[in-house]
Structure 1
Amino acid sequence: MKLIVAFFRLIRTINLGFIVLTQFLFQYCIVVPVFNQYSIIPRLNHLHFSILVLASVCIAAAGYVINDYFDLNIDRINKPEKLVVEKLISRRSAILWHLGLSAIGVMLSFYVGWKVNNILVGFGNLACVVLLWVYSTTFKKKLLIGNIIISLLTAWVVLVLYFIEIPRQPFAPIEPGLLRAVNRVFRLGVLYGGFAFIISLIREVIKDIEDMQGDSRYGCRTMPIVWGVNSSKVFIATWLIVLICVLLIIQVYVFPFRWYLLMIYCVFLIIVPLLYVFRQLFEAQVPAQFHKLSKLVKLCMATGIISMVLFKLYF
């Protein structure tokens, strides 16, 4: 039982659940309702969608395993109480789990790509596996590159579902209804993918500040180590301002449509908490305070993704 609990800690079960929720909401609150408006059947049926979600979960879990494998020495300093690899699960077992989960995720991705006539989905998720490996081995310790990789992979969780629906017959005529549906899904995909990218980037830099002590001892060149904490705070604040401004512009855009429930939700459950993060950012000094901010940003990400439910009310 102890090993089972340790394994679930290793693969970050809560984060994997969040991936499942994100893809489920985007598929059934945005893609399916939009396509239904134009009397078009999405490429992914329930079975193939479930397989794709399982592939996403396997690839993400493999990424968490390999990250902990290579972060062992740093984690001994930053979070010794949360160590799993070598303490509860051997390094050999960890690398085998990484390889096995990655292989399953990629094979399932190619299977779905074959069934929906879009094999590039398999190559897209294969690229995710490669990026997670090089992130853990190299780019995590580099200035900004690692943060951008994780943010892009977070956005991909949403965008892969749009990517599947893109027509793949370049010389064949495209039905007008399909084109309008795909374009609408694209706009909402960019909206939520962009939101996921920015808020993930913000959180990654906050976590880098929190983990400075261990990172600096092992030669990492993360933003707070290279630029300093204050400059990193300015970077975070800049992206917070960008995100808040974009969200406010969206409220102005949807106001004529009388989407009042969505507006109230967005203001009080996304924008106001982000403003609180902005305020607390410059007061934070110790790792515990940055850890609290990281948790709050993660909560904002969750409320942002859950807002997809409200879009279904207006389709």
Structure 2
Amino acid sequence: MASFDQLKAIIQLFRLDLSLAAGICVIVGEIVALGHIPQVYEAILGFGVGFFISTSVLILNDYFDLETDKINAPNRPLPSGLIQTHTVILLSTVTVIIGLIFAGLISGIAFSVAMILWIIGFSYNWKLKRTGFLGNLLVSSSVAMTFIFGGLVIGNPWNIAVWIFSAIAFLIDLGEEIAADAMDMEGDKLINSQSIAIKTGRDNALKFSAILFAMVVVISLIPLIGGWLGFSYLLMISIMDVIIIISTVKFLKTSNSDEKRKFLRIIYLGATLGLIGFILGQIFV
């Protein structure tokens, strides 16, 4: 029987903040494409695909990053010895199967898209992370696809507002990926990573991330200017943009790596909180 510490490590492997965010993004994509709350089964199936496919990929990240995590994150479940590699492989396999079952219940196209997204995630963890910016682009594109997948679930993936949400998610994740690489330079050198930080310098990479976060704030105003979305969207971007602006300023000012990681996490969680506010606004306003 697993100990309490091992159960905590398994939960840590799931990275629930990121997995839950992926599922929420799919539901938001459904809401934006429909203009109202989707049917319960559409929300459950869409969330399930986003959550479990994301979880599987994130678990694999720990498997493939074991050597670099010994330097960059020695307290993670694998390098700390709390979890064995066979457990990680089993958990990743189970979660991807569940995610694909959910996708298959939606449609054949949804199953194919989910499978492609998982393959991209696997390829990134296995080899493409070393490519630096190309790897960053692939991961961010996969995150952005969660909103478009939400549109696909309800049969309207080409909705322009859905693509605006997708662009916001793309830029936030790309900024976070580049900044994270900048703070993981020492470990990434072991795998000959070609990250922007290694090629151009840590400070340049961090400044580039800040520019991407600033672009998010600008792009987030487009649906309001176009009149495509109303009060619930205003609520969302008010929360998200304020958190992004304050956290980005503090992120640039501090020289402490742990503080920088904290502000990156706040930006990510702020965006997730904004999305939850959007959903609640659609339900209650």
Same fold judged by TM-score > 0.5? yes
Which one of 129, 138, 145 corresponds to residue 156 of structure 1?
145
Q: Give the equivalent residue in structure 1 for 2:211.
A: 238
2:19 and 2:236 map into 1 onto residues whose CA distance is: 25
Residue number among 10, 15, 19 corresponding to 2:18 in the alignment: 15
Going from structure 1 to structure 2, the CA distance change for 1:49 and 1:247 (only over 3 Å counts) comes to closer
Q: Of 186, 193, 196, which aligns to 2:159? A: 186
Deviations along 1:172-229, one digit per CA (max 9) or x if unpaired, are xxxxxxxxxx48x712211211111111111111211221221123322211111111
One-letter identity of the residue aligned with 1:266 = I
Say which is worse superposed, 224-233 or 77-86, in terms of deviation: 77-86
Report the TM-score, using the length of structure 2 for normalisation.
0.86
Quote the offset at 1:76 in angstroms: 0.9
Aligned pair partner of 1:292 in 256, 262, 272: 262
Report which stretch shifted further, 189-198 or 101-110: 101-110
1:127 to 116, 119, 122: 116
Equivalent residue runs for 1:1-315 within 5 Å:
1-2=3-4, 3-27=6-30, 29-34=31-36, 45-84=39-78, 87-113=81-107, 119-166=108-155, 182=156, 186-254=159-227, 259=230, 262-263=233-234, 266-267=237-238, 269-309=239-279, 312=282
Question: Does the CA contact (< 8 Å) of 1:76 and 1:83 recur in 2?
Answer: no
Q: Aligned-residue CA RMSD in angstroms?
A: 2.9
Q: Which amino acid aligns with 1:56?
A: G
Preserved contact between residue 207 and residue 290 of structure 1 (Cα < 8 Å): no
Structure 1 unaligned spans of 5+: 37-41, 114-118, 167-181
CA distance in 1, matches of 2:233, 2:96: 38
The answer to which structure, 1 or 2, has the higher relative contact order (CA under 8 A, 6+ apart) is 1
CA contact (8 A) 2:59 2:88 kept: yes
TM-score (norm 1): 0.78
Question: Does the CA contact (< 8 Å) of 2:42 and 2:153 recur in 1?
Answer: no
Q: CA deviation at 1:4?
A: 2.4
Which blocks of at least 5 consecutive residues in structure 2 are unaligned?
none
Number of residues paired by the alignment?
282
Please tell me whether the aligned partners of residues 151 and 197 of structure 1 are also in contact (alpha carbons under 8 angstroms): yes
* Rg larger for: 1
Runs of 4+ in 1 over 6 A off after TM superposition: none
